Chain A
């Protein structure tokens, strides 16, 4: 009997040790990846990076100004297209879908699938509907591709946040004779605004690192451009191109770009988390 007890204790200790080691293993990679990005990124940072455009192959100097500006334009497009669509669709799910339970469940289900769909497929879709028919790559098609990735994130958070708004608030508004649509726009949207904003920020954090959908929509541009119907430089694709290149100064610039991207994304996710933890009725 004693030996059986000892065996159980040994199995327990071994397995628990393995669990601790697995956790250390997971944390190890985060630290390694972030440490590498910080180390190479900081050494490659200099003011030129933000003032000059990407250099031609083999040339010295240059920066990533066109890529930073291009990425901001693409993000702007994604937010401009994605936010209204996402918030309105999420509003239907959160406010009106209880009358159509089955349809609501199906829309939620499809939205969740869209949320996890491979981003390269979204890129192919944007290519098929915007680049192929129009005959040229464009910043606009890149923005649409990013919007398609942003939308399901916004739909989901809007839906969840609206369902957290207490019924008494709606009842109070209706009791005062407020039309339903004004109740939604003035009361429930406002009550859920922090949560919806968090969803949009999280969505932006997610799309700002996306590379695959931009490869054949926004493409890339060696020059500074703000024209929405032309290819546009953008940080992820420039990082991809420069990191794969044999030139040392290009690789360095890729690290600097990666550093800026990681800091940007971490600030966004951290900021949205702070925003949500201030929310009084968080889940």
Chain B
């Protein structure tokens, strides 16, 4: 960061000099001014887009929010026929499917990052990183299709009967895993979401594990630590902030993911205790119903759902970015 700031502040002083020197040619200074204003204008447009998104969603969702008030957040009725709308089912669906995804994706990403940064022979590092990053390049519609037509049938035949028999019988958590093996549902959606966000979390974890100073690691090794102890007591404490930031960035992705979830969550507008039962998320209900929303209040309710989703992801992403700012500073420090 320091290096690049110095790099770009130097020409500014030069610029003043050049403006003075070419003051004789009147056309030059306005051209400079115009160019700078033009770029500044577009920079502000980009920044203002986020505000505009928020503003337009508030405006369009206002009639629903005014009609239902805060009860919109805690009602589970979603009935286009009687024009009664509540967001609870979808908020819960979004949070539960993302929670399942995080439970799977965080440990897996940690394992992958650990493998790439500490265990892998150097010739394997590139290919493994590339394969994991490939997961991020596959569009979500492909995940959805694969999830619905390939993964869900397999899951219904092999995994869900097993879950029913073995985990479903347990007291307490058993109720989460009871139900007909349909393949589609909250659990399947969570698993596919996990696969989708692994590359994002894993690549940040790998990057910060790689920039942990070698001297720190080597001192621990010299004291007789095992690789696991170095990872657990040296690398992880050193990179804790950025790792948390990466996890929240992944969470932001999971919350807003639309197409894959729409394919496999089952699109049922009611709450059920079992994770094997179909549900809905905010994004999936918008994707499914928006073009069918005929009454203004129906449409406004869907836009209000969009607002809720935007606010939730905005908070998560701001938190993630604040944690990651430190990482970017140290990465750039390393670059220059």
Contact = CB atoms under 8 A, between A and B. Distances in A.
Given A22-B115, A26-B198, A236-B141, A125 B14 contact: no
A167 B112 CA distance: 39
A155 B111 CA distance: 33
Contact of B146 (A37, A132, A209): A37
Chain A, interface size category, equals: 35 or more
A118 B313 CA distance: 8
Nearest to B17: A174
B19 interface: yes
B39 A111 contact: no
A243 B263 contact: yes
Interface SS of chain B: helix, strand, loop or mixed?
helix
Nearest to B291: A216
B162 interface: no
Contacts, number: 296
Contacts of B286: 120, 124
A210 B144 CA distance: 12
Contact of B255 (A114, A118, A167, A205): A118
B259 A33 contact: no
Given A118-B258, A239-B145, A170 B11 contact: yes
A125 B53 contact: yes
A35 B146 CA distance: 10
B18 A174 contact: yes
Contact of A92 (B32, B40, B249, B263): B40
A249 B322 CA distance: 49
Given A36-B150, A184-B35, A215-B287, A92 B43 contact: yes
A72 interface: no
A95 B8 contact: yes
Interface in A95-134: 95-99, 106-107, 109-114, 116-122, 124-125, 127-129, 132
Contact of B32 (A106, A129, A181): A181
A51 interface: no
A180 B142 contact: no
Nearest to B142: A258
A110 B50 contact: yes
A276 interface: no
Contacts of B259: 211-212, 236, 240
A118 B128 contact: no
Contacts of B73: none
Contacts of B257: 118
Contacts of B132: 23, 26-27, 30
Interface string B305-336: 01001100110011011000000000000010
Nearest to B25: A179
A209 B142 CA distance: 9
A254 B38 contact: no
Contact of A119 (B256, B303, B314): B256
Nearest to A91: B39
Interface in B7-60: 7-12, 14-15, 17-19, 21-22, 28, 31-32, 34-36, 38-47, 49-50, 52-53, 56-57, 59-60
Interface of B: 4-5, 7-12, 14-15, 17-19, 21-22, 28, 31-32, 34-36, 38-47, 49-50, 52-53, 56-57, 59-60, 107-108, 110-112, 114-116, 119, 128, 131-132, 134-135, 137-146, 148-150, 195, 198, 202, 226-229, 231, 249, 252-253, 255-259, 263, 283, 286-287, 290-291, 303, 306, 309-310, 313-314, 317-318, 320-321, 335
Interface pairs A-B: 9 shortest CB-CB = A209-B139, A118-B256, A22-B111, A181-B35, A92-B39, A12-B226, A212-B258, A92-B43, A89-B42
Interface of A: 8-9, 11-12, 15-16, 18-23, 25-27, 29-34, 36-37, 84-86, 88-89, 91-99, 106-107, 109-114, 116-122, 124-125, 127-129, 132, 148, 151-152, 155, 162-164, 166-167, 170-171, 174, 177-181, 183-185, 205, 208-212, 215-216, 219, 236, 239-240, 243-244, 251, 254-255, 258, 261-262, 265-266, 269, 283
Given A113-B314, A179-B32, A180-B32, 10 more contacts: A33-B142, A36-B146, A88-B41, A91-B39, A113-B321, A120-B286, A209-B139, A255-B145, A261-B142, A265-B137
19 contacts: A26-B108, A26-B202, A29-B198, A34-B138, A89-B42, A98-B9, A107-B43, A118-B255, A120-B309, A167-B7, A174-B17, A178-B18, A181-B36, A184-B35, A236-B139, A236-B259, A243-B148, A258-B145, A265-B137
